[in-house]
Amino acid sequence: MNSPAPWRRWHSLLARRLCDAGWSVRADLGPTVPRGALDRLLALEARRFGGSLATRDAPPAELVDGPGTGDAVVYLTTGADMVPTATPTFRLTINGHSDLAGGLAQVLRTGDLPELTLWLDDRAVLSARPMLSDRLWLSRMCDEILAGAVGLVESGLKRWQAGLLEPMEAPGMSPSTPSLMRYYLPNLVAQGARRAVAKLGSRRPFYWQVAYRPARPGIDPLSPGLGNAPFTVLPDDGTRFYADPFVIARSGGVFLFVEEFPYSLGRGIISVSQLASDGTFGTPREVLREPHHLSYPQVFEQEGDVFMLPESGGANQLVLYRAEEFPHRWARDTVLLDGVDVNDATVVSREGAYYLIGTERLGPGSASDRMVVYHSPTLRGPWTPHPLNPILIDRAGARPGGAVLKQDGRLWLKVQDGSTAYGGGLGLREIIDLNVHNVRFGPVVPIAMGTAWHRTGIHTLNIDEEWEVVDSAG
């Protein structure tokens, strides 16, 4: 790792992760660089937040052992010219800028979302689109962008080692570097005003709604949409909301599982409603509660048993539950993953093996843009992380938004689009390759809302043979 610019916390995070992945890492530092606008602004915000991934840091002493030659160089430049070398050299650009401050300034100046590019020598080979959940504070923006940068370098090196990197269309490079200091304060004022207006207009701290309707014959994966048939909203009493709907037919009944979030409790539980004879779902009844947040109650059958795999990323575990008395009594069956913050992990069975596709939060980064895959010969494990993890960094196509769609012998993953906001949209991506050696997806095909859904977006969509369920921010 060659750094002619200041060593920052994200560099240390990257070095640790590469070491954990089996790489031998050495840091080759340049001369001390004076503090610039980025450092001064981060120091100002540190009084409120503490440090960020962009904060200056000291590299681990064991990594600094003088010049040498390795299999590859990761050039952590922030504006300096890259030194030519015969060794394969990777570098990053952010929105057309090779320096972090310039890339951040470009985001603030134009309002564009971050676009990261990994270059191998003079060829663009991989890209990342980190999610920005907070555009108000520079520290928070840096955390999400630089967590994405760490993932992009990790993925690039693994794919290069496996011979899977291919040149891509190179993005345009900016001929000049905008001033970060010039655009920081106007952005702070504008984003602060938007946040204040949003809070004044909100009747609840946050709010989601679930809705349902009879299922259509099928979705066209090449041009998906909700169409015009109206949905019926699952009512709530104002002291809670419902989200993440999954529907399953069993024992002559139809059951709607949801995340229930009572505001007084401050975390999610899992509840279920059974379809009544009049074709409506009534008030959901609690079926599963843990000391931590639960959501995304993915329910499915296997060999006569019914299982539930809810999200429990806040507990750093992924636990499989089995119905002891369906649908109201569930028991912990197996801890599938431990020590990882995996979100909305979705089960896929393919060619005699099982896969989990979800997103994994890295440090202070986003929980919605870093896709990881795990594989196992059986549902209960053992589960092994895919050697190419993270598979991709994409705010518009990484986090699952429902069970995999199987149609005409092809598999389609529903993915959340967080480009404008969390829960802002949903799309389909075809699963082209999914095996222990490689994972490839087709492009995201957005799911159009049509006139059927008059909300701010789509967050989850699930369909069984008779019913279709959806949710979004209220």
Tens of pLDDT along 203-242?
677 789 999 999 988 788 888 999 889 999 999 999 999 9
Biggest alpha carbon distance in the chain? Answer: 76
Report, as an integer, the average pLDDT of 33-62: 91
CA 96 to chain centroid: 23
Q: How confident is the model at residue 361 (pLDDT cuts 50, 70, 90)?
A: very high
Is the pLDDT assigned to residue 72 strictly greater than 80?
Answer: yes
Is the pLDDT assigned to residue 11 strictly greater than 50?
Answer: yes
Please name which of 142, 148, 7, 160 lies closest in space to residue 73, comparing C-alpha atoms: 160
d(CA 433, CA 293): 33
Kindly report the backbone phi and psi dihedral angles of residue 48, in degrees, each rounded to the nearest multiple of 5, phi listed first. -100, -40
Tens of pLDDT along 160-194?
999 999 999 998 887 777 899 999 999 999 999 98
Locus of tokens 């019926």? 232
Report, as an integer, the average pLDDT of 271-288: 97
Q: What is the pLDDT of residue 77?
A: 63
Q: What is the pLDDT of residue 81?
A: 55
CA distances from 363 to 9, 144, 230 (A): 11, 9, 41
Please name which of 106, 152, 158, 164 lies closest in space to residue 13, comparing C-alpha atoms: 152
Is the pLDDT assigned to residue 302 strictly greater than 70?
Answer: yes
Is the pLDDT assigned to residue 80 strictly greater than 60?
Answer: no
Report, as an integer, the average pLDDT of 275-289: 97
Q: What is the pLDDT of residue 331?
A: 98
Tens of pLDDT along 100-132?
999 999 999 999 999 999 999 989 999 999 999
Mean pLDDT of the chain: 91
Q: What is the pLDDT of residue 284?
A: 98
Classified as helix, coil or strand, 46 is helix
Please name which of 266, 248, 250, 246 lies closest in space to residue 258, comparing C-alpha atoms: 246
d(CA 420, CA 446): 14
Report, as an integer, the average pLDDT of 418-434: 94
DSSP string, 47-113: HHH---TTSB----GGG-------S-EEE--SSSPPPP-SS-EEEEEETTBSSHHHHHHHHHHH-PP
Q: What is the pLDDT of residue 288?
A: 98
What tokens appear for 58 in the block?
């000291």
d(CA 264, CA 314): 18
150 vs 196, residue with greater confidence: 150
Specify whether the CB–CB gap between 326 and 297 falls below 8 A. no
Q: How confident is the model at residue 84 (pLDDT cuts 50, 70, 90)?
A: low
Please name which of 82, 95, 77 lies closest in space to residue 177, comparing C-alpha atoms: 95
Is the pLDDT assigned to residue 54 strictly greater than 70?
Answer: yes
Q: What is the pLDDT of residue 220?
A: 86
Percent of the chain at pLDDT > 70 equals 95
Q: What is the pLDDT of residue 79?
A: 45
Q: What is the pLDDT of residue 6?
A: 84
Is the pLDDT assigned to residue 66 strictly greater than 70?
Answer: no
Classified as helix, coil or strand, 180 is helix
Percent of the chain at pLDDT > 90 equals 73
Side chain identity at residue 139, one-letter code:
S
Specify whether the CB–CB gap between 149 and 141 falls below 8 A. no
> At what angle are helices 37-49 and 100-110 packed, to 10 degrees?
70
Q: What is the pLDDT of residue 65?
A: 61
Tell which phi-psi region holds residue 160, choosing left (phi > 0), alpha (psi between -120 and 50) or beta.
alpha
Specify whether the CB–CB gap between 340 and 359 falls below 8 A. no
Q: What is the pLDDT of residue 395?
A: 97
Listed in sequence order, the residues at least 6 apart from 254 whose beta carbon sits closer than 8 Å to its beta carbon are 247, 248, 274, 275, 464, 466, 467
